[in-house]
Amino acid sequence: MLSTILALPTLLLTLHTTTLILPTISRLRQYESASKTAAQYSNTAAEKLRKTQLTQASGVIATTISLISCLYLLSSPSIQYQGVTAGVNAVICGLAYVHMAGFWNEREQTRIPLVKDFNEAIRGSEKVVLLLGTLGVGWGVAAGLWVVGMGEGVVGLVIWGVAVGARAWGIAGEMGWKR
């Protein structure tokens, strides 16, 4: 179990990301039929609907793969593929981060006055982007630690915690964790 200790905090971060992505998608789905109707008359609306669906799907896929990988690492007695699993997840989360960040940002999204759920869905998607970046950092650090043989134990966990903690501190204001 100690050899997979880095998968535990990564699992917690993945679960936190999941708790944000699911209600965000639910909120966006409330406006999907109106968006489809608008898409029939506007190429811009059709493109925004397509990008919304694709970017949300990439976030769900990356988060699901991260969750499955964490559970695999925590339940598998084999430590042969830890570095590879973590490295692949770092790439997947990084790609999902870049893909979503290109669409879910202040420049691309417009808040609509008096449409609280839609605005919360936009904000939730922006938070998911930040957490996917943090997951990418977490998996990347874990991969590096496992490759150099420091992923097993307290020292590796502390290094992981400092790296991911620094990233979390950097996004804390945007996440609403500090005022």
Q: Which residues of the chain have pLDDT under 70?
A: 1-3, 77, 179
Per-residue model confidence (pLDDT) at position 6: 85
d(C-alpha 144, C-alpha 172), whole Å? 25
Q: What pTM was computed for the model?
A: 0.89
Q: Where are the alpha helices (DSSP H) in the chain?
A: 7-29, 32-41, 43-75, 82-101, 116-147, 154-175
Per-residue model confidence (pLDDT) at position 1: 46
Q: Tell me the pLDDT of the chain averaged across its residues.
A: 89
With the C-alpha atoms ordered 130, 95, 33, 108, is the resulting torsion angle positive or negative?
positive
Per-residue model confidence (pLDDT) at position 179: 63
Spans of all domains in the chain? 2-175
Per-residue model confidence (pLDDT) at position 106: 80
d(C-alpha 44, C-alpha 145), whole Å? 45
Span 25-63, pLDDT tens digits: 998 888 888 888 888 888 888 888 899 899 999 999 999
d(C-alpha 88, C-alpha 127), whole Å? 22
d(C-alpha 80, C-alpha 59), whole Å? 27
